[in-house]
Amino acid sequence: MKTSYALNKVLTEVARRHAMKDRLSEEDIAGYTVSAEERAALTAGDIAKLYELGANPYLIRRVFRSRFRV
């Protein structure tokens, strides 16, 4: 199964600050080793792409709650 430790590490840290975002900033991602594709998805708040790249959906939901219609 596809899982990205880099994405989940970033999203866990943001989620634990109880910070809900539309998209992550470069500052949010600074210091994490994410690929260019992962960086693009995080900074775009592209929830479908993040899922495809192996981000945990519970973390996607917590961080990008405003991106979900329900």
| Under 8 Å between Cβ of 29 and 42 | yes
Distance CA 62, CA 12 (A): 9
Q: Tell me the longest C-alpha to C-alpha distance in the chain.
A: 32
Under the binding rule (CB under 8 A), the answer on residue 9 touching another protein is: yes
Number of residues that bind another protein (CB under 8 A): 20
Q: Which stretch binds another protein (CB under 8 A): 26-34, 35-43, 59-67?
A: 59-67
Which stretches of the chain bind another protein, using CB under 8 A? 1, 3, 5, 8-9, 12, 15, 47-48, 51, 56-62, 68-70
